[in-house]
Structure 1
Amino acid sequence: MTKKILAGMVCLAMALTMFPGVAQGVTQEEWDELMDQFEKLQDKYDELLTLYTALLGGTTPAAGVPAACAGMTSFTRDLYQGISGDDVKCLQALLNTDPATQLDAAAGAAGSPGNETTFFGPLTHGAVVKFQNKYAAEILTPIGLTAGTGYVGPATRPVLDEMLTGPECVEDDDCLSGFICVGGECVPAVECETDADCPDDYVCEAGLCKEEVVEPEEGWLTARWLPTPTGVEVNWGASDVAVGAIELKARDSDITVNRIDINFDAVPWHKIDYLALYDGDDPVKGTDIDSGTVSEITFGTDYRLRLSGLDIDVSEGGTKDITIKVNTPTIPRTPGALTMTTGADAIRGVDTARIYQYATCAGNRQFTVAAAGLGARIETKINADTPEEGFAVIDPDTATQHEVLAFDLAVTRSSARVRTVTVTLSTTTNINAVKLYDGTTAIGSEAAAATTSFTDLEVDIAEDTTKTLTVEVEYAATSTAGTVTASIAADDVLAASANEEACTYAGSAAGNAIYFWEVVPDIDLVSQSLSLVEDQTDKANAELKFRVTALGGDIFVSATATDIVGSSTASTSEYNLDTTGLTATAANSYRVAEDQSQTFTVAGYLDNNAGTAGFFSFYLSLFTWDTTDGGTTNAWDNTNWMVEDIKTSTLYLTD
C-alpha cells in the first residue's frame, strides 16, 4: 500500500511540472488552489518517504545512530590515518557519541561533535586508540594486544558495526505516529480486541496494543541449593559437567538477577579451567578459571568468582533453576574435592522498583576431580521389557528359541567398547545354545554352559547413553519340561574405555523364570466381582470367571470338587464350581482341546462374623490339570505365577 501511495504522488508531481499546459484552461485562482493542494501532497509525500525508508532499513539511521552514518549498516573496509571517505565521517560521529572516545578537537573545530570530516587524521587516530582501549576485551584481548593501535581493522570493525545496527527504538515514543516499539524495531500499531492479540509485554487498550506499564513493586529474592547434582566425580578432560544447581525465587515483584558470586575452598584453577551458568540448556555466562578471573580472599582457603551482567529474569512468585557446569584440563593438575558456597549477599538482583535485592544459599555443594584419569563407568541394569515370568511351548521335533533376559548397559564418564559379556544360567539341561542380540542382530552364539561368555565383542556405547542387549536360549527338541533363568553380574561385563583408562563396573540384571512346556494351560481372568450381602456388613458374595486355553496339545482339568478351589482369608468362606456348560469325561475331567478355550466360573461366599474386621478378597487357591484324561499331576496353588492373578478386588468386612 505504501508503495502505491508513493507511486501515485510521484506521477502527480511529474504531471504538474513536466506538462504545465494542462492548466491553461483554469483561472489564476483555481491554479493557486491547485498548487496549494500539490504542496500539501508534497509534504505528505516527504513524510511517507521518510517512513517508507525507515521500514525498509534504508538511509534513515536507527535511533541513537548519528546522521552522518545514514545508509551505512557496516564498515566494509579497514580505516587508518591518511584515508578519506564518508565512512571516516561516520567513524568520527560514532566516536564523538561517547565523551570517553571523542576526538580531541576544540568545540566547533573540525572533528568536534557535529563538525565531523571525511579525513582520517591524527585526531581520529587518537580517538580510535581510546575506543579500542575501552573495548579491549572485545577488540584487543582476542588478538593478543594490550593497547590500542589506532588502526580500524577486522577486530575493531565488528564492534563499530554493532553500534550502527543498534535497536531502532527503545520505547514507543521513539517511533512515528501509528507505530509502536517491539523488540527494538518500530512496527505498525496492532489493532486488538484482547491482550492475546498483542505482542509480549503489550496490552490491548482502546482497540490498539499499548506497551504494558508495570507498577513498580519492592520484591524479595531467595535462593537455595537444589538437591541434585551433588557429590559429582569429574574426570580430567571433561566438559560441561553439572556439579551444582541454584534455585532462584522472586517474591512480590519480578526480579532480574544480574550477579552471582561463587566461593571455592581451594585454588579452583588447579582443578577446573572453565565454569558456566546455564538456564536449562541455554548458557547464561561462562568464564575461564584462572588467577585473572578469580579473586583470592584468603590464601589457600577462600577464592571468589564473580559472574555479573547475567540478566536472569525471575517472574513474581516464580522460580528459575540455574545449573553450574565445569570443564577440567586434559592434563591432570591437582585432584581432590572442591567445595562451592555463596557468601552473604552473593546473589544480587533488582526488582521493578529498581531496588537491589540480595540472597545467598545455605550450605554448599562439593564435587571431586579424579586423582587420575577415570575410564568409563558401566552399569548393568534390568530392562523394563525383559520377559515376565511365563512359559514357552516346546516342540519334541524342533528346537525352540526363546528370550530369557533383556538388560541395559548405561555408560558414563567416557565412551566405551564392550568386549565381553558373561551370562549365568540356572540350568543347561536341554539347552543347546545361548545367543546374544543387539536389537535383531545376533552378535554372539555359544554352546550352553553354566556361565556362558561372549568374547571379542565390539559393542560401542557413547558416553551418557544406554545400550540394550537381549539373551535368548535354544531349547532342545524334546518333550521334557524345564525352567530357565538368566542373570548378569557387574563383573560379567568387560569393556575398553575410549580415554584408555580402566573401566569401572556396577549393577546387575536378573531375569524372570521361563517355563518350557510341551503342553500347558494359559489361564487369564475374564471377570471378577465381590459385593456385600444385602443388609450385611460382614458377609459378601464373590465370583471368579477365568479362561483356560490349551497350548501344545489337549489338557484335562480335574472335575473333582476339591481340585478347583476358591478361598479367602475371611473367618470362613465357601466356594462352588459352576458346571453349567461343562461336560466331564468318563475319567472325571473337563477336556480343553488344543488351541481351544474353556471358561470356568467359581462362586464364593465370605463370612467374617467370627473374624477381625479388615479388607478381604476371594481367589483361586487350587487348579489341578494334566495332559492325560483323569490325571491330577499338576496341582497349581495361588503361589503359582499362572494362578496368582485369578482373584477379586478387596472389600472391607466388619466382624
Structure 2
Amino acid sequence: MNILKKIVAVGTILGMVAGTSPVFAVTAEELLAQIQQLQAQLNELLAQYQQLTGQTAGVPSACVGITFTRDLYQGMSGDDVKCLQALLEVSPQTGYFGPLTYEAVVKFQEKYASEILAPLGLTAGTGYVGPKTRAKLNELLAPVTPPTPPTPPVTPPTTPTPTPTPGVEGVLSAALQPTPANVTVYPGEQNKAVAAFKVTAVGSPIKIERVDFVLSVSSGARPYKCLNYISLFDGENAIKGTPITKDTVLDAGTGSYYVRLTGVDYTVPEGTASGKVLTVKVSAVPTYPDDCAGDDVTLSIPATGIRGVDGAGLQQYAGGVTRTFSLASAATSGNLVSSLASDTPKAGVAIISATAPTTEVELLKFNVKWENLGGTVNTVVIALATDASDLSNVQAVNLYDESGNLLSTQSASTSVTFSNLGLSLAKDTSAKLIVKAVVENDFPEGNYLRATVDSVSGEDENEVADSDPTDRAGNNIYIYKVAPEVSLQSAGVNKVAKNAYEVTLTLKVVAKGGDVYLKKGTDSDDWLEVTAPSSATTTDYALHFAGVTASGSYEEVSTGTPAVYLFKVAKDQTANIVLKVRIDPQTDNGSGYYTVKVNKIEWDKVLVPDPSQDWTPSAHWALKELKLENISIVHET
C-alpha cells in the first residue's frame, strides 16, 4: 500500500473512532489514547508524504496545520505568531510578537511590496500583519497543505482553551475626532487623511467586519471621477482599503454614493479606555475634471455603517459621523509635515560607559515630508527634557540623517535649534532624522532624557515658507551604567481544569553594563497584579500564585538573615523569569475579561537583601508593557 493510501486509510479510521460511539466496554481515557495513537501515525505518514512530494521544502514544521486568519501585531502571542517567526527566520521563535518579529514583518512586506503595500498605496512596511500580508503568508504556506483526512469531531478533554469565548454581549460606539479637519486634497495625492473616528467596545471585545462610507460631492459629480481609493488606518497601519470605481460605488440617490469596506477583520479591545482611533484616507485622481476641482466632499458613516461581532456572536452597529473636505484644482504651495518614526526608541534603558568620558545616546527618530510640492527643510527645533536637576551632564545634541551623516551639532539646552540644514525633498518624499545626546559619565543614574520635535520649518519649491509646529514627543530614555533590560518574552493562558485558568508571563532579562541581582520573592504574587472585571468582587474569583522560576544564564544566590533569595544575571547574559497565577472563577460574576501584569521588580547591581531599585508601573516605564490583557475567563456550572 503506498503512503497516500495509508494516509487516507488512517484518516478514515481516525474519523470512525472519533465520531462513533463505542459498543464495547471502553473508558474515555482508553478511547482518547487510541485517537492519539492513530493521530500520531497519521502525522508520521503525512510527514513522509510531504517529504516524498517535496511539499514541505523551505517551510518550517511550526507552520504545519497553520493558516493565518487574524491580524497580528506587537504584543500578540500564539501558534500563528510562532509560525510567522519561523517563516521569517526570527530567532528565538517564542510565539510572542516582539520588536524582532516586527522588523522581520517590515522586511517581508517590502520584499513583496507590489502585492502587499502597493494595493494600499504604501511604499514602506508597517510591521502590522493585515489582510494583504496574511494572504501572502498563506500563499507561501499553501504548498504544505496535505490531503485532508476525516477530522475527528471529538476534542480531548485535556486540550487547553487559550482564548475561550465568554458569551458576553457588547456595545459598539463611534465618535468623530477633532482632527483631521478642513483638509484639502490635491490632484494625484495618495492616502491623504481626511477624517478620524474613535471606536469603543464596552462589555466585550468587538471584531469590526465591515464599514460603509457615503460620499457626496457638492457639484453632484460621481465620487469616482474625483477619487480613486479609500482606506482605513490604525495609526500608520493600513487595515483595509478599496478602489473607488464605477463598479464599487452604489448610487443612493440625491447625489450620495455608498462605498463599502468588507473583510475589515479588526478587533476593538473591551473598555472605554481601550478605544481605537481609526483614520480615513483617500487618494485623488491625477487630474480633476471641472466638476471636481474646487468642490467639497462630504464623507459620512451612517448610524449602522460600522458592523461588528461581539463575544456573544451578536451583530453590533455604530456610526453617525460626518466630515467635509475640499478638492483643490492644483497645488499652489507646499505643506511641510513631520511625524514620529515607527522605530523611534521606546521608553527604556540606555547604558552609558563607566569609564569613557561620554556616550552618545539615541533619543528620537522622526520623519519630515513636503506635500503638494517639493521643498527644503531648513530648521528643526528640539525640546530636551530631564528629571535630573539640569542638563549640565549633557555635552551636546546631534542631528543625523538615516544614513548616519551628521547634519548639525549644538550645545545641550532645554531648546536646541538646528538651522541652515538645507535638506531638499521631492514632493511626498519622506526623510528620517535622528536625534542623539552626548551624555557624560557622571549623569545621575535612573534619571531620564526626552527629546521632542517642537517645530520644523523651510520653504517649498516656490520659495513659500511653511512650518509644522506640532509637537512630536519622544519617550523617556533612562540613563544607567548598569541595569536590567526587561521585556515580555511570551504570555499566554491555558484552561487547566474546569473553572481553572493558568496565566503565564515569561520575562526576558538582559544584564546591561554589569551584573544585576533581581529579588526572587516568596511567589509570583510579589511580582504580579491581577485586575478582574468591574462586575466581580473578591468572592467571585480566587487567585493562586505559583513560585517564581528561571531559566537561561543565571545563578540563584542568597544573602541576609533570614535568607533573601535573588537571581544573579551576569553582564550581557540573558535569563528568563517565569511568573504564573491561576484564576478560578467562583460565580458567574467571575466571568469576563482579566488583566495580569507585572507590578514590581526589585533589583540592584550588588548583592544586598533589600535592593535599592524598586520599579513599579506608576513610577517606571519598564513595567507598562509587561502584561496580558483581555483574558477571557468563563465560570462553568
TM-score w.r.t. the length of structure 2 is: 0.45
Tell which structure's C-alpha radius of gyration is larger: 1
Structure possessing the higher relative contact order (Cα contacts under 8 Å, 6 or more residues apart): 2
